[in-house]
Amino acid sequence: MRALTKVHLRRGRLLLWAKYSAASVIATVISQLAFALCYWFGTAPIVATLVAWVSGAVPNYVLNRRWTWGRSGQKVPYLAIVIGSAVAASVVTSVTDHLVQPIESHALKTLLVTGSYLGTYAVLFIVKFVLFDRLVFARTSPAPAGDRDAVRTPATTSSS
């Protein structure tokens, strides 16, 4: 029985990861398009990052809340995580923009700065999953007696 529960938990974690990944891909496509368009038309990297962040953060939160975790999350930790991500992306894109200024091709500059924006979120992808799972959308109420291993809280986790 314990082995069956472990398999069920592992499958549930894989499904959670797949849903998170799909929601992230959708938000990333929206965000990347917003950033690339803003930067292409001459918007400063920090402004392009802000526009892209808002464009992606809204669908990302809605998809993760309703579809991935299926429950409302804690707003303050969520905001801290996504604002921290936006700040990191702003720093990275601004530095990249500064470094690519000697390049004459606007298309190449756009590609490189947009790539740095994507790279920042690629690096943060796993970190954000763990923080969302353990802080933002963590279950804090006890599970039914037969399902105690499935409970995830910020303080305790199941090993699956």
| CA separation for the pair 48, 99 (Å, rounded) | 17
* Per-residue pLDDT reduced to its tens digit, 11-44: 778 898 899 999 999 999 999 999 999 999 999 9
The closest of 23, 43, 40 to 121, measured between CA atoms, is 23
According to the per-residue pLDDT averaged within each range, which of 32-46, 51-65, 146-160 is highest?
32-46
Residue 1 pLDDT greater than 60, yes or no: no
Q: Which backbone phi and psi does 38 adopt, to 5 degrees?
A: -60, -50
In this predicted structure, what is the pLDDT of residue 148?
A: 42
In this predicted structure, what is the pLDDT of residue 138?
A: 79
Domain locations in the chain as residue ranges: 2-139
H runs (alpha helix) in 64-105: 75-100
**21, 123, 137 from 16: Cα distances, Å:** 9, 19, 12
Q: What is the pTM of this model?
A: 0.72
Residue 157 pLDDT greater than 80, yes or no: no
CB contact at 8 A, 87 and 120:
no
| CA separation for the pair 127, 125 (Å, rounded) | 6
pLDDT grade, residue 132 (50/70/90)? Answer: confident
**Residue of 122 and 160 predicted with greater confidence:** 122
Q: How crowded is residue 69: how many other Cβ atoms within 10 Å of its Cβ?
A: 21
